[in-house]
Amino acid sequence: MLKEITLGQFFPGDSPLHKTDPRAKIILTLLYIIGIFTAKNVFAFLFVVLFTLFLIVLCKIPLRIILKGMKPVIYVVAFTAVINIFWTKGETPLFEFGIIRVYPEGLKFAGLMIIRIIALLAGTGVVLTYTTSPIALTDGLERLLGPLKKLRMPVHEFSMMMTIALRFIPTLIEETDKIMSAQKARGADFSQGSLVNRAKALIPVMIPLFVSAFRRADDLAVAMECRCYRGDVGRTRMTELHMKPLDWLMVLIFMIFIAGIILLNIFAPGFSI
């Protein structure tokens, strides 16, 4: 059962979005987010929605999977919408019910907020989390934040920690499975009883897991030292990232997206919201 846990939301494939340089994709994601939040009128919003649909088609990931990924945030979306509906003040209330007053502005804000959140999730997911493996993401982030090393930010250390964490998650999951089986064989019951009892039953799983994780960490530290690891001192990388024509094309597309939104904001002011 534990083996089914997948890391992040990465969905392997070979679409143009999968092939784009991870550094470029991090920048593109930022551009996209900026785009969403600069959209000010109906046309700009429509443009955001269309562009998001374009990205979804481009990444070749089944819509079903993207929708499934949004399930957990439905509550957040609903909550935000409700807050917006009831707490936004306008001039003439649409209807009143005791202390609750709903203004048309509230409904409008709620609607926009829903579109924004859904576009944000779908867009960033499609550009970044669904199409970039966690390790490529870590790598891209390290290289992108490289200049911060001069400000003594532990960029390399952070990325090494991420890499090791990603490397050991499957190992530790396997180990948890093993320990749980061992405890079950000794009569432990993880599936029955009150919540408190079930949580208590997990203690004999967590303790050996922690002990072994510390031992692994110690072993790994020695092994890394044996392989001449000394932090970021004089380190090179096997794979170098170069911006390919595809990466520049993607950057261009996103620039057009931002430009489009700005133009729509300026030239269709009548419909501003």
Partner 1 sequence: MNDNTTPYISLRNVSFSYEIEDGVRLSALKNVSLDINKGDFVAVLGHNGSGKSTLAKLLNMILAPDSGTIIIDGKDITSKDMTEDDVFDIRRHVGMVFQNPDNQLVATIVEEDIAFGCENLGIPPKEIRKRVDDALETVGMTEFARHEPHQLSGGQKQRVAIAGIIAMLPDTIIFDESTAMLDPAGRDEVMRTISSLNHDYGITVLHITHNMSEAIEADRVIVINDGEVYMDGTPAEVFSQVEKLKSVGLDVPQVTDLIWRLKKLGCPVSGDALSPEAAAEAMLPLLKV
Binding site for partner 1 (CB under 8 A): 134-135, 163-164, 166-167, 170-171, 174, 215-216, 219-220, 222-230, 234-240
Nearer residue to partner 1 within complex by CB, 99 or 228? 228
Torsion of CA 110, 120, 56, 133, to 10 degrees: -150
Q: How far is CA 36 from CA 61, 73, 116, in A?
A: 22, 18, 7
How many of the other CB atoms lie within 10 Å of CB of 126?
26
31-45: b (≥16 Cβ within 10 Å) or e: bbeebbeebbbebbb
Nearer residue to partner 1 within complex by CB, 191 or 236? 236
Beta bridge partners of 100: 97
Least separation in angstroms between residue 128's CB and partner 1 is: 18
- Report which secondary-structure segment, H or E, holds 169: helix 155-185
Q: How far is CA 12 from CA 2, 126, 233, 238, in A?
A: 21, 12, 34, 22
Nearer residue to partner 1 within complex by CB, 171 or 181? 171
Nearer residue to partner 1 within complex by CB, 200 or 215? 215
Least separation in angstroms between residue 136's CB and partner 1 is: 10
Least separation in angstroms between residue 20's CB and partner 1 is: 19
Nearer residue to partner 1 within complex by CB, 196 or 238? 238
Least separation in angstroms between residue 132's CB and partner 1 is: 13
Beta bridge partners of 96: 101
How many of the other CB atoms lie within 10 Å of CB of 157?
13
75-87: b (≥16 Cβ within 10 Å) or e: eebeebbeebbee
Least separation in angstroms between residue 179's CB and partner 1 is: 15
Nearer residue to partner 1 within complex by CB, 162 or 268? 162
Least separation in angstroms between residue 231's CB and partner 1 is: 9
